[in-house]
A and B are shown apart, each in its own frame.
Chain A
C-alpha cells in the first residue's frame, strides 16, 4: 500500500520522534480547541436557523405607551383572521414567573394543542394544579411539586416532563392548565399574552404586516420570524467574534511552532545536499517533505476534528455547553449542517496546517535552487 519513499518519509520522522510527536500533539489540540471555539457557536446558530423555521410566521402583541398589554382573545382572533393571507391564528398564554432556582417560562396549554406532540410520552394534559415541566426543571420536592411565584404564589404537582430532545426550546418551560397560567401570570379571563399567526407564504410575512396592523382597533406590534432569526444571528455573530478572539493565543502558539519548524528544517539543509549528491532529485526531496508533513498533519487534523465533533455534536457537548454557556441542565442537541461544519473545519485546518506545511516545504524549495556543494558545506565535518 505504501511506496518506499513514503516509508522512508516516516523513517525520517523517526529520526526525531519527540519533535514530531510534539508537533502532532500541538496541532491536534490547536485544531480541536480553535475548531471547537468556532464550530460550537456555528452549530448553535445552524441549529437555531433550522428549528426557527417551525416557529410562527408572525407574533402580534398589543402595546400602549408603557409597553405590552394583554390581548382580548375573541376580538383579536377575529381581527387577525380577517386579513387575507393569514392561515391560522393561535392566542398564546405565557409569561415569566419565579421558580425555585430562577425565572421560568410558563405556558398555558390549549386543550387542542397538546395531544399531537405529547401523544407518545404523555397520556394526559395538566389539569388544574398540575404541571408538565421541561427537562431542565428539577423538582426539589420528593413528592414532585413545583412552587411558582407570579401574580400569585402557587405550588403545582408535576405530572410529567417534556422530552429531553426538545430541550432547545422547552428546557425551562412549564406547561399549565390555561386557567392556572392566566392566574399565575396575572392575565384577566379571556385575555392572551399575544397571537401566533401563520401566513400562507413565507414571503408574505412582511407584506401582510401593514394589513394586520390596520385590522386591529388598538396599537399592535408585530415581529416576523425573519426578524427574530436576524436578532439571534446578530447575538451569535457577536459570540463568534469573541470566540475568534480567544483563538489568538492558539494562533500565536502555532506561529511559534512554525518558526521553530522552519528553523529546524533550515538547519537540515546539509542533509538535503547529501541527498541530492546521492541522486535525489528536487522532486524527490519535495515529495519526501510533503509526505513527512502529511504523516504528521493528517492524523492531527483528523484527530483534532474528531475531538471537535465529539465536543460539539457528540457526548462531549453537555460538558462544553456547561463550560461555555452555563447550560448546566440543558443538554444541547445540535444539528449538523454539513456545509457549515465543513467550512469551519477547512478554515481551521487551513489556518493551522498550511503554515506548518509551508515551513517544511520552504527549505526544500530553497534547496532546489541552491548549489549542492554549498548545501553540503553547511554540514561541516561529519
Chain B
C-alpha cells in the first residue's frame, strides 16, 4: 500500500505579544506522496518547521487536519498520537540529542520502547550509524560532536526504525557539500522503500539534489507547488 500524508485546510497560529495571534500556516492543502522526495523551501521564519512538526504530531493544528492514509491523525487523542509518532522519523533542525548519552545510545533511543533486546537494538543502531559514516564516533558523548556530526547522528536516529514517514528539518544545514550530498542520497534511498520523505531546506540545495523531487515553497503561510 502506498502511504501518503495530506494536509486539509491546515492552519496554525501562535499567540504572540499583546494577546495577538500570529498566523504561521494559513489554509494549506497538499498531499505528500510516498516514494518521492518532497522538498519544502522558503525564507527563514516562513513556518517550515511548524508544518513538519504539525504533520509529525508534535503539535496540533489550529484548524484543519493532517490525514495519513485516510486517518485524521491530528484529531487523535494523546495516546493514539503517541502511536502515530512511532511510525514517523523526525530530524530536528537543532538535532535535539541527549547530551549525556553516547552517539550510539542516542541512535538507540527510538528502539528502546519497542521491546527488542539490547543486542538487537545495538546491532540495528550500529547499522544506522554505518549508513551515515559515523561508526568511528559511536562511543563518543553527543555533546563532544561537531554540528555536522550531530546532524548525522540525528539522521541516523530518525532512520534507525526504518519509518514509513520521514520529516527532516534542515538536515544538512551544518554540513559541507560532500556530506550534504551523501545525506540527501540516504534520504533518497528511503524513498526507494516507499517511505514518505519530506525535507524542509534552503532553496540553495535545490540545484544540488541527487534526484528528482516534488518541490514546494512556503511563504506568508501559503504552500505553493514549484516544480517536479
In chain A between 334 and 382, which residues have their CB closer than 8 angstroms to a CB of chain B?
A: 368-369, 371-374, 376, 379-382
CB distance from B13 to the nearest CB of A (A): 14
Q: Inside 8 A of B129's CB, which chain A residues have their CB?
A: none
From A277, A284, A374, contact of B56 by CB (8 A): A277
A281 with B79, Cβ < 8 A, contacts A4-B112, A5-B113, A8-B112 known: yes
Name which residue of chain A comes closest to B90, CB basis.
A277
Name which residue of chain B comes closest to A284, CB basis.
B113
A271: Cβ under 8 A from any B Cβ: yes
Is B113 touching A381 in the complex (CB atoms < 8 A)? Answer: no
Q: Inside 8 A of B226's CB, which chain A residues have their CB?
A: none
CB distance from A379 to the nearest CB of B (A): 6
Name which residue of chain A comes closest to B120, CB basis.
A4
Q: Inside 8 A of A277's CB, which chain B residues have their CB?
A: 56, 58, 85, 90, 92, 96
B199: Cβ under 8 A from any A Cβ: no
B60: Cβ under 8 A from any A Cβ: yes
From B57, B95, B110, contact of A278 by CB (8 A): B110
Q: Inside 8 A of A15's CB, which chain B residues have their CB?
A: 98, 100-101
Q: Inside 8 A of A283's CB, which chain B residues have their CB?
A: 79, 82
Is A373 touching B59 in the complex (CB atoms < 8 A)? Answer: yes
From A270, A278, A284, A371, contact of B90 by CB (8 A): A278
Is A7 touching B85 in the complex (CB atoms < 8 A)? Answer: no
Is B78 touching A279 in the complex (CB atoms < 8 A)? Answer: no
CB distance from B138 to the nearest CB of A (A): 15
From A281, A374, A382, contact of B96 by CB (8 A): A382
Q: Inside 8 A of B189's CB, which chain A residues have their CB?
A: none
Q: Inside 8 A of A16's CB, which chain B residues have their CB?
A: 100
The SS class assigned to the B binding surface is loop
Residue-wise interface mask of A (231-261) relative to B, using a CB-CB cutoff of 8 A (1 in contact, 0 not): 0000000000000000000000000000000
A374 to B105, CA, bound (A): 24
A282 to B81, CA, bound (A): 10
Is B95 touching A4 in the complex (CB atoms < 8 A)? Answer: no
Q: How many residues of B contact A (CB 8 A)?
A: 38
Is A368 touching B98 in the complex (CB atoms < 8 A)? Answer: no
In chain A between 57 and 72, which residues have their CB closer than 8 angstroms to a CB of chain B?
A: none
B75: Cβ under 8 A from any A Cβ: no
A281 with B58, Cβ < 8 A, contacts A15-B101, A381-B94 known: no
Is B112 touching A281 in the complex (CB atoms < 8 A)? Answer: no
In chain B between 99 and 120, which residues have their CB closer than 8 angstroms to a CB of chain A?
A: 99-101, 105, 109-110, 112-118
Is B96 touching A376 in the complex (CB atoms < 8 A)? Answer: yes
5 extra interchain contacts, Cβ-Cβ under 8 A, other than A280-B112, A371-B59, A382-B99? A11-B105, A15-B100, A281-B86, A284-B113, A382-B94
Chain B interface residues (CB < 8 Å from chain A): 53, 56-60, 78-79, 82-83, 85-88, 90, 92, 94-101, 105, 109-110, 112-118, 121, 150, 157, 161
CB distance from B206 to the nearest CB of A (A): 26
A: contact size bracket = 20 to 34
From B78, B86, B101, B113, contact of A369 by CB (8 A): B78
Name which residue of chain A comes closest to B59, CB basis.
A373
CB distance from B36 to the nearest CB of A (A): 24
Q: Inside 8 A of B97's CB, which chain A residues have their CB?
A: 382
Q: Inside 8 A of B95's CB, which chain A residues have their CB?
A: 382
A371 to B157, CA, bound (A): 21
A276: Cβ under 8 A from any B Cβ: yes
Give the top 5 A-B pairs by smallest Cβ distance, nearest first. Answer: A373-B59, A281-B82, A279-B86, A284-B113, A15-B100
Is A279 touching B85 in the complex (CB atoms < 8 A)? Answer: yes
The SS class assigned to the A binding surface is helix
Name which residue of chain B comes closest to A374, CB basis.
B59
Chain A interface residues (CB < 8 Å from chain B): 3-5, 7-8, 11, 15-16, 270-271, 274-284, 368-369, 371-374, 376, 379-382
Cβ contacts A to B, 6 pairs, < 8 Å? A7-B118, A277-B56, A281-B79, A282-B82, A373-B59, A382-B94
Is B157 touching A373 in the complex (CB atoms < 8 A)? Answer: no
Name which residue of chain B comes closest to A16, CB basis.
B100
Q: Inside 8 A of A280's CB, which chain B residues have their CB?
A: 82, 112-113
CB distance from A177 to the nearest CB of B (A): 78
A8 to B116, CA, bound (A): 12
Is B79 touching A278 in the complex (CB atoms < 8 A)? Answer: no
Q: Inside 8 A of B59's CB, which chain A residues have their CB?
A: 371-374
Q: Inside 8 A of B113's CB, which chain A residues have their CB?
A: 5, 279-281, 284
CB distance from B47 to the nearest CB of A (A): 13
Is B112 touching A376 in the complex (CB atoms < 8 A)? Answer: no
Q: Inside 8 A of A4's CB, which chain B residues have their CB?
A: 112, 115-118, 121
Is A275 touching B109 in the complex (CB atoms < 8 A)? Answer: yes
CB distance from A232 to the nearest CB of B (A): 56
Q: Inside 8 A of B94's CB, which chain A residues have their CB?
A: 379-382
CB distance from B59 to the nearest CB of A (A): 4
Is A376 touching B118 in the complex (CB atoms < 8 A)? Answer: no
Name which residue of chain B comes closest to A7, CB basis.
B118
Is B96 touching A274 in the complex (CB atoms < 8 A)? Answer: yes
Name which residue of chain A comes closest to B160, CB basis.
A278
Is B56 touching A282 in the complex (CB atoms < 8 A)? Answer: no
Q: Inside 8 A of A7's CB, which chain B residues have their CB?
A: 118
A282 with B110, Cβ < 8 A, contacts A4-B118, A371-B59, A376-B96 known: no
Q: Inside 8 A of B105's CB, which chain A residues have their CB?
A: 11
Is B118 touching A282 in the complex (CB atoms < 8 A)? Answer: no
A376 to B162, CA, bound (A): 23
